[in-house]
Structure 1
Amino acid sequence: MLPITIGRNPSIHLCTYMLSRYYTYSQFESYFSTLIRRFKIESLEEIEIGKSVLGKSIYGLKLGTGSTKILAWSQMHGNESTTTRALCQLLESVDIENNLNSFKLYIIPILNPDGAESWTRVNANNVDLNRDAMDLSQPESTILRKVINDYQPDYCLNLHGQRTIYGSLDGKSPVQMSFLAPAGDKDRKITEVRLKSMNVINHIYSQLKNKVNGIIGRYDDAFNINCVGDYLTSVHIPTILFEAGHSGSDYSRDEVTYLVHDSLVVALNTINDGISQKNTTLRSYEDIPAIASNFTDVLIKNYPSKNGFTSLYIQYHEQINANKLYFVPILIGLNRKDILNAHEVIDLSDVSTFENDLVIDENLEVYSESLNIKIFTN
């Protein structure tokens, strides 16, 4: 079994520290080419499985000799890099080599290199690859489908990142990670395939729920056959959706990268151990907290205005400039009832240093030197 290492693992050093949250695709290729050499692969050309819309190479790494086949892919949404970094952590771990006789592992580290480069959810044709499961209108979608058809995985790990807007239903806690056993039909039937996925998620939750800053949540299972996970469940392939979330000031997503790594380890252990589904699987899965989009990045309470005291809600908009990721504070509303909390709450009735210097420009960008609200990068 792969030993679980919670927190920072000194044996992990390459991709974790050399890849920040945003990286150019050439940076990724340079780091990944170094990483794969430990598996006796000399060049990226050996593992190229296709090209993106703009002609960037897409890679697929096959490892292991066991009987159970696991397929994992990341960054089908280009601006969701946390799980790619966690896969690099996993591959960099000294433990992975000693366990490759337990399973076969096929990794597509970045399915959407064009979106990764431009830091967009969609690909270069402005198509969401996770809404293209049936149409297969994009080269990246057909590459993934061919891998699925040829490899015939026993389990799929669909790796994503989610925005900072998610919290517990009561709004008290941010969602640092969430998971989903996707539905395979519009009635969302609880099939044996879904129970297998739920079983893996339950083990991740039970082992990591006390290690997060916030909560591990259960993502909504609304059915859409154009979503890859829903399609895979419909064709009887157990699929686990990972969503790397956010809490506090972790805008670099460094801390949650470690949590995703640990979640991957638990998932591999659970699949490898073949732990059977019990009659408590569904109940345990439904006990994982549901989540809602009820958070924002910054909430300013008791701001004095001509209409009395006002609450201001600010969301950071992510922008790439000169190969750096910037976070731009944007006003998204006043006195909203649907947003219950924020990763930073500033109550001006308790702040003596506020100099009444808050500025909202014509683009709704918000600035205040005394409250430290400004554009930043990581």
Structure 2
Amino acid sequence: MNYTSLVNNYTNKYVFGRYVTLKNITPFLEDLNQNFKVEERGKSVEDRSIKTVTWGVGPKRIFMWSQMHGNEATTTKGVLDLLLMLNENKEPFIEDWHSKFTFLIVPILNPDGAHYYTRVNANQVDLNRDSIDLTQPESQLLRSLFVEFAPHYAFNLHDQRTIFGVGDTGKPATISFLAPSYNEEREINVNRLEAIKLIVEMNKELQEVIPGQVGRFDDGFNINCIGDYFQSQNVPTILFEAGHYPNDYEREVSRKVVFRSLIVVVSALYEENYVNNSVDSYLNIPENEKNFNDVSIEYVKCKETRDQYIVKIQYLEQLKEECVKFCPIIVDIIKKESKFVHHAIKRELFFKDTLISISEAIDKELTDYVEIDSVMVSELLKK
């Protein structure tokens, strides 16, 4: 199967960038062909529709959900690319998949969070910490779908921040995976082993296109997390975490990585070519580390002492007029080298004109996606 050709041929034009809402995806869902069943299965806190998409008639059931956190839309884009491919039905393997699998997909579980571009739902609850208490309508719906559908596999689809790197390699974690633990001891039973082997298969393919940019998420057990709970219910569960690709703050490259991963994992389940993959191959995927900054400015000098400093900046994502803007926030001023950074500005500045010069330095190099806020930049003067 030519994964590159598939990924390049199917990009769903209804979604782009970081802000993806129910309003964006509904016209596409309404236009799906007769092989799909699109239903409203519940409502959010603010009465927005939570839709499901069912496809296929096969005995092997795959359950996937995205945007449990409303500001994590990259995997939603990847899922919609997958649905576009299935809907156009031009590839020879799609009929085979249709007879082998049944997919149940929740494209946006948290439509209120998606609307406001927040991690939490409208009650300010993190749905990924509500798997046991089930205090929220979105969590209750996900659980009822899980019980009703009784999946053989569960795909938990998320985004991760730009701070994550692949171990200590200096490469960003463009995507990370996890076979969640099912108990405190983090043991590997037959169901978790199944998820591990599937992750290894995806990693093999991704190393060909994003070498060294696949990470492994921490497997600390928390029964309040949805993935850990589903794994504890003997359903092989895989966490997908879409992350940063260089200069891809809109995550349009990352969406293709998610789409490719979904094609690979479904193909593996169809071909059953993953069964001999080893636990060691999974453990050899480096764990994520929080070791990246978005920007560093090298150097800012003190005029009196001539000491020089490195300014470390992270972007604050802010929704403005249905567009996500990236506003620079100074998080540290240090003398030593910054560990890893996505964009280094090599320019000498002086404290005396810091407010103007840092704004200009960032604006000159990063105007494609950064909105300068001089109030935020001026935090440097308070250090």
Which of 174, 177, 181 is equivalent to 2:175? 177
Asked whether the equivalents of residues 294 and 338 of structure 1 are also in contact (C-alpha less than 8 Å), the reply is no
Instruction: Give the letter for the 1:37 counterpart.
Output: N
Following the alignment from structure 1 to structure 2, what is the Cα–Cα distance between the partners of residues 199 and 330?
40
Q: Does 1:273 align with 2:310?
A: no
Deviates more, 1:72-81 or 1:204-213: 204-213
- Report the Cα distance in structure 2 between the residues aligned to 1:59 and 1:156, rounded to whole angstroms: 17
Q: Is 2:53 the counterpart of 1:57?
A: no
Is the alpha carbon distance of 1:17 and 1:377 closer, same or farther for their aligned partners in structure 2, counting shifts above 3 Å? Answer: farther
**Structure whose residues are more often helix by fraction:** 2
Question: 1:90 is matched with which residue: 79, 82, 86?
Answer: 82
Structure 2 distance, partners of 1:232, 1:40, is: 25
| 1-structure distance, mates of 2:2, 2:151 | 24
Q: Which deviates more from structure 2 when the two are superposed, residues 339-348 or residues 142-151? A: 339-348
Query: Which residue pairs with 2:381 in the alignment?
Result: none
On the 8 A contact 1:299/1:345 being kept in 2, the answer is yes
Give the aligned partner of residue 167 of structure 1: 165
Question: By how many angstroms is 1:300 displaced?
Answer: 1.6
- Which letter maps to 2:174? Q
Pick aligned residue for 1:376 from 344, 363, 369: 369
Instruction: Please name the residue that 1:244 is paired with.
Output: 242
Segments of structure 1 that go 5 or more residues without pairing to the other structure are none
Task: Describe how 1:52-131 pairs up with structure 2 within 5 A.
Answer: 52-93=44-85, 94=89, 95=91, 97-98=94-95, 99-131=97-129
Q: Retained in 2: the 8 A contact 1:8–1:258? A: no
- The aligned runs of 1:1-378 (5 Å cut-off) are 3-6=1-4, 9=7, 11-13=9-11, 15-16=12-13, 18-34=15-31, 36-37=32-33, 39=35, 47-93=39-85, 94=89, 95=91, 97-98=94-95, 99-212=97-210, 215-275=213-273, 277-278=275-276, 281-306=278-303, 308-335=307-334, 340-348=339-347, 358-359=354-355, 368=361, 371-372=364-365, 376=369
Letter matched to residue 239 of structure 2? L
TM-score by length of 2: 0.87
Provide the TM-score with structure 1 as the length reference. Answer: 0.88
- Please state how far the C-alpha of 1:275 moved relative to its aligned partner: 4.0
After TM superposition, give the deviation of residue 343 of structure 1 in Å: 0.7
Aligned residues, how many? 363
Identical amino acids, percent of aligned pairs: 37
Contact 1:174 1:215 in 2 (8 A): yes
Q: How many angstroms apart in 2 are the aligned matches of 1:343 and 1:255? A: 15
Q: Distance in 1 between matches of 2:29 and 2:353?
A: 46
Q: Which moved more, 1:196-205 or 1:92-101?
A: 92-101
After superposition, the Cα gap between the structure-2 partners of 1:22 and 1:234, relative to the gap in structure 1 and judged at 3 Å, is same
Structure 2 letter corresponding to 1:345: A
Moved more, 318-327 or 122-131: 318-327
CA contact (8 A) 2:39 2:52 kept: yes
